[in-house]
């Protein structure tokens, strides 16, 4: 099963090289919902705290300062514990 990749507090230079600050922003209040990735998503959390539980896998905690890559085809449940604001990029 493809894994969620997490880089904690990546270097600003790396974020600039990826173009993170030009990516759109997504915001969501505390909530819980199922999600399936139709393509790979890379995101950088500006605010918030989330527990993502892949179908048949272990829960993963991500949040502010994390650069996270979710694999294409993964189904999971998002539980937003603190409101999220993140830059995101598909593909």
Per-residue pLDDT tens for 3-27?
A: 999 999 999 999 999 999 999 999 9
pLDDT tens-place string over residues 44-54: 999 999 999 99
In this prediction the pTM is: 0.96
Strand ranges in 21-64 using DSSP code E only, listed in sequence order: 25-28, 31-36, 41-54, 60-63
Instruction: Find the radius of gyration of the CA atoms of the chain.
Output: 12
- CATH number for 5-90: choose from 2.60.40.1220, 3.10.560.10, 2.60.120.10, 3.30.930.10: 2.60.120.10
As to burial, measured by CB atoms within 10 angstroms (0-12 exposed, 13-18 middle, 19+ buried), residue 55 is: exposed
Cα separation, 71 vs 39, in Å, equals: 7
For the chain, the domains span: 5-90
């Amino acid at each position: 099963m493809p894994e969620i990749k997490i880089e904690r507090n990546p270097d600003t230079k790396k974020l600039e090289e990826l173009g993170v600050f030009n990516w759109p922003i997504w915001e969501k209040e505390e909530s819980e919902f199922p999600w399936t990735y139709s393509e790979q998503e890379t995101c950088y959390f500006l605010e918030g705290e989330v527990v993502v539980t892949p179908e048949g896998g272990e829960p993963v905690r991500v949040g502010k300062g994390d650069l996270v890559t979710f694999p294409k085809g993964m189904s999971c449940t998002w539980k937003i514990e603190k409101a999220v604001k993140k830059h995101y990029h598909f593909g």
